[in-house]
Amino acid sequence: MTVALAMHDGLDRPPVKATGTAVRIAGVSHSFDKGDHKKPVLSHVDLTLKHGELVILTGPSGAGKTTLLTLVGTLRKLQAGSIEVLGTELLGLSARRQRQIRRRIGFIFQDHNLFDALTVFQTLKLASELADRRPGRSEMLDRAVEILSALGMEEYLHRRPGQLSTGQKQRVAIARALINQPKLILADEPTASLDLKASNAVIDLIKQRIKGQQASALMVTHDHRIFSVADRVVHMIDGQIAGQSFGFP
Amino acid sequence: MMTSPGLGIRLLAFNPARLLAAFAGIAVAVVIMFVELGLLVGVLDSQAIMADLVRGDLVMMSRGRTNLHKFNDFDRIRLSQIAGLSGVGEIIPIYQGTAGLESPEDEVIRRIMVVSFPAGHTPLAIGDEDEIARQLATPRTILYDRRSRPIFGNIVVGEDVELDGALYRVGGFVDIGPDIVNDGAVVMSEGAWLMRRPNARPIMGVIRLLAGADVAQVRERIVAALPDDVSVLTPVEVRDREVAFTLSSAPIGVLFGIGMLAGLIIGAITCYQILFNEIVDRMKQYAMLKAMGFSDAFLRRVILAQAVLLSCGGFVLGLGLAYSVYAYIAKETALAVQLSLTSGGIIFALAAGMSIAAGLLAVRRVRIADPAELY
Ligand SMILES: Nc1ncnc2c1ncn2[C@@H]1O[C@H](COP(=O)(O)OP(=O)(O)O)[C@@H](O)[C@H]1O
Ligand SMILES: [Mg+2]
């Protein structure tokens, strides 16, 4: 389905075509240099994410899930095949276009990677510098409180990472990833350091963002508790898509 | 809005103890540079002191006296020859020589510079004119340079000192200041000096012009009226010539230049180390910023803001320390070392330059932060 509608956000970005697909991965292979020989990690991976879809990527360790995620996130150079993210082909991407795409992606890593010097609010404000339209201070405060409330973290607005637990820090990192309302969320084990209640809050928030804003998410997880919220669960083994399951209750 | 400098400064300020240690490290380099520059300027100033002290519009000296530490004198007639020229007001001869001053403490005789000029016509800015005139008009009275190095012992006003075997009363103090060659000075009247050295010839003639006279024109007239065994310069020209001479004749420029360079290198290395450690400690966070879509230019600004903060903090701390060190050097060497706006500006520019250079080097570290390693 191709919608003949060009969305323009009014800033310096070229219009993004709404193709109905958020991510289209076609024939992607990847290998790492291991001294004098190459170690193949992905071979001929095909995968498509529609707008509004939450896809979980699972499979044994070493299957290549993380590598695939870094390729989609433009964090790694594409070697073979084609990936289209939010309407842009990643092969031969300029540094400038790469930054523009990264800004529309909410990255959630296993580690929180927070600056110990910045309060939760400062962290979110720094992230919001990258938004198409930078919010003013009071709007910023509203947004921060809103997103932190959804994660049960509103009291920690002015705390620094040193005063937070691991799970709380992870939730701050998730808030940072979502503050600019990204069109695509890429998450690697986002709930690994969270208890069930916090996990559910995080998943609910992601789910709500996806529904509300026509965003989509690709999430690597082994956490069977959250398989149920996914639209699809894709299984990867040895660098290949081994199969997918739909319609979890 | 949090800008890149804001982020850089917040990151540095988060660990105040580390920041303070960083400031101290850079302050050391700043102090080294201040001391080297201060000594250089101090030596140059001290060597040119006579030019700075001249109270007049033009200075006549023997043509052979190519620097102030050459004691070529000239015929007194030359001063009389220009007395009638239009525009010329007062002409005051200065004599300079040395004598042995016996220390009232250890009775050792040490060479001291003797400066003399006619009582009542003080051609040098070395103290209160009337008081100097009054003292020099008193027979066998000298004035002692209070900035002489302390080797001459405790010279007391009102008491007698022995100068080349003759007794003189110390009538008061003047301010001249020692240089590399001379440790101290006394001032006596022209009459008193000629009594000791009947054949003495002036070493300098200070010429004061009449009000409204044009310096360049009068100088032309003077030069035209005299044979070329003397030269006529403005005090500023004498000073400039002296500084140039000192720099070219002695390797002090090179010597202090190397000292400054050492300070600069120490500072740059210190600054680089601090920035490097800051970056290495936050490699994952910087990689995260890249993943989020911040540009390399943003990260570069973060690091450069830190470099500027380090140089400013280090400079302020170093300036404070240099103030004390200067006071100590001035006391110990009696050289004219002092903080000036110019030297402060030079050192600040050097400190900022060295920090920014270190920052640019450190930026290469942050460039290799790889967001692909974050997942
Ligand atoms: N930067 C790298 N350099 C070399 N080999 C790597 C690198 N990253 C991952 N690999 C290898 O690629 C394979 C797939 O890794 P990864 O994508 O992390 O799998 P998963 O996330 O499914 O556990 C593993 O064998 C891993 O050792
Ligand atoms: Mg992985």
Identify the residue whose C-alpha is closest to ligand 1 atom 7.
A32
The DSSP secondary-structure symbol of A60 reads: S
Q: Please give the order of strands across the beta sheet that includes A37-50.
A: A37-50, A21-34, A80-85, A88-89
Using an 8 Å CB-CB cutoff, list chain A residues near B279: none
Q: Note the pLDDT tens digit of each residue in B140-163.
A: 999 999 999 889 989 999 999 999
Distance separating alpha carbons of residues B23 and B143, to the nearest angstrom: 47
Average pLDDT over residues B264-281: 94
Using an 8 Å CB-CB cutoff, list chain B residues near A111: 284, 374
Using an 8 Å CB-CB cutoff, list chain A residues near B14: 116-117
Quickly list H helices, B214-340: 215-225, 235-249, 252-281, 283-292, 296-333
pLDDT score recorded for residue A211: 84
Q: Which residues line ligand 1 (CB under 6 A)?
A: A 32, 41, 61-67
The rounded Å distance from CA B3 to ligand 1 centre is 36
CATH number of this structure's domain A1-33+40-104+182-196+212-249, picked from the four choices 3.40.50.300, 3.40.50.11780, 3.40.50.150, 3.40.50.1460 = 3.40.50.300
User: By the CB < 8 Å criterion, does B14 face chain A?
Assistant: yes
Distance separating alpha carbons of residues B372 and A32, to the nearest angstrom: 13
Q: Would you kindly state where each structural domain of chain A is located, as residue ranges?
A: 1-33+40-104+182-196+212-249, 112-180
Tokens describing residue B310: 């380090």
**What value does the CA radius of gyration of chain A take, rounded to a whole number of Å?**
18
The rounded Å distance from CA B94 to ligand 1 centre is 89
CB contact under 8 A, B288 and A129: no
Query: Chain B residue with minimal CA distance to A69?
Result: B375
How many CA atoms, within 13 angstroms, populate the side-chain half-sphere of residue A85? 30
Average pLDDT over residues B285-297: 95
Tokens describing residue B299: 């990260």
With tokens 């007194």, the residue in question is: B76
pLDDT score recorded for residue A5: 38
Q: Note the pLDDT tens digit of each residue in B224-233.
A: 999 999 999 9
**Beta strand residue intervals within chain A, DSSP E:** 6-7, 16-17, 21-34, 37-50, 54-58, 80-85, 88-89, 105-108, 184-188, 216-220, 232-237, 240-246
Please enumerate in sequence order all residues whose Cβ is within 8 A of that of B248, keeping only pairs 6 or more positions apart, or say none. none
Q: What is the pLDDT along chain A (249 residues), one digit of tens a residue?
A: 333 333 444 344 444 444 578 999 999 999 998 778 889 999 999 999 999 999 999 999 999 999 999 999 999 999 999 999 999 999 888 999 999 999 999 999 888 999 999 999 999 999 999 988 888 889 999 999 999 999 999 999 999 999 999 999 999 999 999 999 999 999 998 888 888 888 888 888 898 888 877 799 999 998 887 888 899 999 999 999 999 887 654
Please enumerate in sequence order all residues whose Cβ is within 8 A of that of B252, keeping only pairs 6 or more positions apart, or say none. B40, B43, B246
User: By the CB < 8 Å criterion, does A64 face chain B?
Assistant: no
Using an 8 Å CB-CB cutoff, list chain A residues near B290: 102
Query: Chain A residue with minimal CA distance to B6?
Result: A126
The DSSP secondary-structure symbol of B54 reads: B
Q: Binning pLDDT at 50, 70 and 90, where does residue B358 land?
A: very high
CA–chain centroid gap for A116, Å, is 23
Quickly list H helices, B82-149: 129-137
How many CA atoms, within 13 angstroms, populate the side-chain half-sphere of residue A180? 29
Q: Note the pLDDT tens digit of each residue in B96-120.
A: 999 999 988 888 999 999 999 999 9
Distance separating alpha carbons of residues A125 and B298, to the nearest angstrom: 15
pLDDT score recorded for residue B336: 76
pLDDT score recorded for residue A248: 57
Burial class (CB in 10 A: 0-12, 13-18, 19+), B304: buried
Q: By percentage, how much of chain B surpasses pLDDT 90?
A: 77
Q: Binning pLDDT at 50, 70 and 90, where does residue B2 land?
A: low
Q: Note the pLDDT tens digit of each residue in B194-211.
A: 999 999 999 999 999 999
pLDDT higher than threshold 90 for residue B319 = yes
* DSSP annotation string for B275-299: HHHHHHHTHHHHHHHHHHT--HHHH
pLDDT score recorded for residue A247: 61
From the CA of A236, the nearest ligand is 1
Average pLDDT over residues B157-178: 93
Tokens describing residue A138: 């009071």
How many CA atoms, within 13 angstroms, populate the side-chain half-sphere of residue B311? 24
CB contact under 8 A, A113 and B287: yes
Ligand 1 atom closest to the CA of A65, numbered from 1: 22
* Best CA proximity match to A39, nearest among A48, A47, A49, A29: A29
How many CA atoms, within 13 angstroms, populate the side-chain half-sphere of residue B280? 6
| A189 neighbors A222 (Cβ within 8 angstroms) | yes
Backbone phi, then psi, for B70, in 5-degree steps? -110, 130
User: By the CB < 8 Å criterion, does A113 face chain B?
Assistant: yes
pLDDT score recorded for residue B314: 96
* Best CA proximity match to B356, nearest among B312, B294, B321, B319: B312
pTM of the model: 0.80
CA–chain centroid gap for B87, Å, is 34
The total of other beta-carbon atoms located within 10 Å of residue B188's CB is: 25
Query: Chain A residue with minimal CA distance to B289?
Result: A127
The rounded Å distance from CA A179 to ligand 2 centre is 24
Please enumerate in sequence order all residues whose Cβ is within 8 A of that of B315, keeping only pairs 6 or more positions apart, or say none. B26, B27, B30, B347, B348, B351, B352
Least confident residue range of A200-204, B50-54, B171-175, B213-217: A200-204
With tokens 């709930």, the residue in question is: A191
Average pLDDT over residues B32-37: 93
In this structure, the strands spanning B141-145 and B185-189 are antiparallel
The DSSP secondary-structure symbol of A246 reads: E
In this structure, the strands spanning A80-85 and A88-89 are antiparallel
Distance separating alpha carbons of residues B284 and B279, to the nearest angstrom: 9
Q: By percentage, how much of chain B surpasses pLDDT 70?
A: 99
Distance separating alpha carbons of residues B184 and B147, to the nearest angstrom: 7
State how far residue B349 is from chain A, nearest Cα, in angstroms. 30
Query: Chain B residue with minimal CA distance to A160?
Result: B14
State how far residue A110 is from chain B, nearest Cα, in angstroms. 6
Instruction: Please provide the distance, in angstroms rounded to a whole number, between the alpha carbons at the two ends of chain A.
Output: 28
ipTM score assigned to the predicted complex = 0.89
Backbone phi, then psi, for A105, in 5-degree steps? -110, 135
DSSP SS3 for A189 = coil
What residue type is assigned to position B159 of the chain? E
